[in-house]
C-alpha cells in the first residue's frame, strides 16, 4: 500500500508544482537580502542572523502571500486522493487486496504527513538558505533584534533558545498543515467533487479567521495563532486537538460505512 502511495504521489504534477512554488517563496526573500561586497567587519555592527531574518518573523510581501495560500499548500497535494479513487473505481480494485481499515489509515497518514511537509517547506527552505547567508549571531532584544515582542509567541524561548523556538514553530505549523489536509480528506467521504474537497480547507480557514475577529475574539484568530506572531493562547491546542480528532473520526467512520465493493 505504501509503495503504491509513493508511486502515485511522485507521479502527480501538482506535487512538483507545489515544491517549485515552495522553493520560490523560500528563496526569493533570501535573494533580496543576500549580502554582497561585505567583509567580516560588516557583521560587527550588523545584527542580522537567520533567526531574526527568517521570513516567518520578518513580515514581507512574500510571506503575506505564503500566509494566504498556506491552506492550499497543505490541501492541494493529496487530500483529493480518496475522492479520485472513488470516482474512478480504483478503490474497488485496491480493497480486493487489502483491508478497508488499512487503506483508510494509510491514506490518512500519508495525506497528513504530506500536507504538513508541503505547508512548511517554504519556511524550511528559507531558514536553511539564511543560514548560508548570515552568521548565527546570538539573539539580543536590545541590539536591533526584536522580531518577537513581549506580546509575541514565547518571547523568552526565542531569545534564550532560538533553535528550540524555530523547531517548535515548525512542529506546530506542520501539525496545522496536516490537519487542514485531513479536513479536506474527511470531506471527500461525503463530497465526491475533487475541486470542492481541495478548496474546503482554504474556505474553512478564511471563515474562522473572519468570524472570531469580527466578534472581537482576536486571541482565537487562526492565522494570528499559527501564521503570525500572536501571543501563545490555549485555543491553539484546542484547534489542533479538535482538528485532528474531528477529521480522523469523521474520515474513518464515514470511510468504513461507505459501500465501495
> Domain range for residue 204?
2-257
- Over the stretch 139-167, which tens digit does the pLDDT of each residue have? 766 665 656 766 778 878 888 888 999 99
For residue 253, CA distances in Å to 38, 73, 105, 187 come to 60, 26, 11, 12
The pLDDT confidence band at residue 175, using thresholds 50, 70 and 90, is very high
> What pLDDT was estimated at residue 243?
94
Phi, psi for residue 187 in degrees, rounded to 5: -65, -30
Question: What would the mean pLDDT of 6-26 be, rounded to a whole number?
Answer: 91
Which stretches within the chain are classed as H helix?
2-10, 13-33, 50-53, 61-76, 81-88, 90-94, 100-133, 155-160, 162-187, 194-214, 222-226, 235-257
Q: What is the mean pLDDT of residues 195-218?
A: 90
DSSP state of 150: T
Burial (0-12, 13-18, 19+ Cβ within 10 Å), 94: middle
Provide the pLDDT for residue 136.
Answer: 81
Across the range 129-139, mean pLDDT stands at 83
What is the total count of domains within the chain?
Answer: 1
32-73 per-position pLDDT tens digit: 887 766 666 655 555 578 888 889 888 788 999 999 999 999
pLDDT-derived band at 7, boundaries 50, 70, 90: confident
144 or 250, which is more confident: 250
CA angle 222–224–229, rounded 5-degree value: 145
Mean pLDDT of 211-240: 85
Quote the percentage of the chain above a pLDDT of 90.
48
Give the model's pLDDT for residue 142: 65
Residues in the chain: 261
pTM value is 0.90
Amino acid at each position: 500500500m505504501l509503495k503504491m502511495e509513493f508511486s502515485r504521489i511522485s507521479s502527480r504534477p501538482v506535487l512538483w508544482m507545489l515544491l517549485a512554488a515552495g522553493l520560490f517563496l523560500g528563496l526569493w526573500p533570501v535573494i533580496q537580502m543576500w549580502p554582497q561586497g561585505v567583509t567580516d567587519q560588516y557583521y560587527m555592527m550588523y545584527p542580522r542572523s537567520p533567526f531574526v531574518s527568517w521570513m516567518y518573523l520578518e513580515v514581507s510581501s512574500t510571506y503575506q502571500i505564503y500566509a494566504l495560500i498556506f491552506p492550499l499548500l497543505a490541501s492541494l497535494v493529496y487530500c483529493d486522493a480518496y475522492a479520485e479513487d472513488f470516482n474512478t473505481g480504483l478503490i474497488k480494485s485496491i480493497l480486493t487486496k487489502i483491508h478497508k481499515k488499512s487503506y483508510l489509515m494509510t491514506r490518512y497518514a500519508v495525506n497528513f504527513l504530506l500536507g504538513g511537509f508541503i505547508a512548511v517547506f517554504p519556511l524550511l527552505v528559507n531558514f536553511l538558505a539564511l543560514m548560508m547567508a548570515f552568521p548565527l549571531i546570538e539573539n539580543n532584544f536590545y541590539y536591533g533584534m526584536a522580531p518577537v515582542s513581549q506580546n509575541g509567541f514565547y518571547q523568552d524561548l526565542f531569545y534564550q533558545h532560538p533553535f528550540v523556538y524555530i523547531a517548535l514553530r515548525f512542529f506546530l505549523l506542520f501539525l496545522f498543515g496536516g490537519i487542514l489536509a485531513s479536513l479536506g480528506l474527511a470531506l471527500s467521504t461525503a463530497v465526491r467533487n475533487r475541486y470542492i474537497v481541495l478548496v474546503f480547507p482554504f474556505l474553512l480557514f478564511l471563515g474562522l479567521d473572519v468570524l472570531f475577529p469580527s466578534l472581537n475574539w482576536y486571541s482565537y484568530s487562526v492565522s494570528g495563532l499559527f501564521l503570525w506572531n500572536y501571543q501563545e493562547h490555549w485555543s491553539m491546542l484546542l484547534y489542533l486537538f479538535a482538528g485532528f480528532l474531528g477529521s480522523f473520526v469523521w474520515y474513518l467512520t464515514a470511510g468504513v460505512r461507505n459501500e465501495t465493493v
